Amino acid sequence: MIHRVELRPLMADVDAMGVVYYGRYPAFFELGRAELMRQAGMNYAQLMEQELNLPVSELQVRYRKSALYDELLTVETRLAWLKKVSMGFSYRLLAMRDGREEELALGQTSHGCVTDSGRIAPLPASLVRMLQPWLD
């Protein structure tokens, strides 16, 4: 299963070349995985209430084509893997150009599950159950 969410870059997101600043892609990916989790039935705020966090341990982005100011973009998010104490997402940033969908960027994030006090913790069983169907 793949999650898709749309956004339009603001002036706040672009650089002097009028294209999305490379450091804004992580926020677009955050939007993708937050909305995937919400659709799976649990949002990140609920996880935090359980004093759990999913900090990013690794990020990779491959920028292929510039994303333009005000252009309608799609963030495509997949749950790439799911383990006992960690999980991974993959992302594609897409735009419709000349009637066909072009791939602007690819991304990946890895996340560990940690308590508020910083200790590694197993992913909650309820979260695993909800996310299982999303596994690629």
Interface residues toward a copy of itself, by CB under 8 A: 8, 10-12, 14-19, 21-27, 30-31, 34, 43-45, 48, 53, 55-64, 66, 69-70, 109
Instruction: Specify the residue, 67 or 131, whose C-beta has the smaller distance to a copy of itself.
Output: 67
State in angstroms the smallest separation of the CB of 112 from a copy of itself. Answer: 9
State in angstroms the smallest separation of the CB of 9 from a copy of itself. Answer: 10
SS3 37: helix
CA-to-CA distance for 64 and 102, rounded, in angstroms? 10
CA torsion sign for 29, 82, 130, 111 is negative
State in angstroms the smallest separation of the CB of 132 from a copy of itself. Answer: 23
Using the structure block, give the residue that is written with the tokens 């495509």: 76
CA-to-CA distance for 73 and 68, rounded, in angstroms? 9
Pair of tokens at residue 37? 């989790």
SS3 70: coil
Instruction: Specify the residue, 45 or 125, whose C-beta has the smaller distance to a copy of itself.
Output: 45
Pair of tokens at residue 63? 């920028």
State in angstroms the smallest separation of the CB of 66 from a copy of itself. Answer: 7
Instruction: Specify the residue, 8 or 97, whose C-beta has the smaller distance to a copy of itself.
Output: 8
